[in-house]
Amino acid sequence: MKKEILIKFGNKVRERRAELGLSQEELASRAGVHRTYIGMIERAEKNITLGNIEKIGRALKLNLDDLMQNL
């Protein structure tokens, strides 16, 4: 069973990415991670590191507080 926090985080990334009109590939490029990594995060298949949370947050134009809020 997937951890609830990974599901919530993945959903938040997907929703924000959609708000910005970004593809997974565009978000990955902005964050400096591989395209498939974004998909894995959105599907809660990866336990993301703090460093990558920060990179993705910057790419989504969110500070860490906003990105982690309500998880």
Q: Which domains does the chain have, with CATH numbers?
A: 4-63 (1.10.260.40)
Residue 47, number of CB atoms within 10 A of its CB: 11
Contact yes or no for 59/15 (Cβ under 8 A):
no
Q: Apex CA 19: angle with CA 16 and CA 21, to 5°?
A: 110
Per-residue pLDDT of the chain (71 residues; tens, 9 = 90+): 569 999 999 999 999 999 999 999 999 999 999 999 999 999 999 999 999 999 999 999 999 999 999 88
Distance CA 43, CA 51 (A): 19
Q: Give the residue from 19, 7, 1 showing the smallest Cα distance to 48.
A: 7
Q: Quick check: pTM over 0.75? A: yes
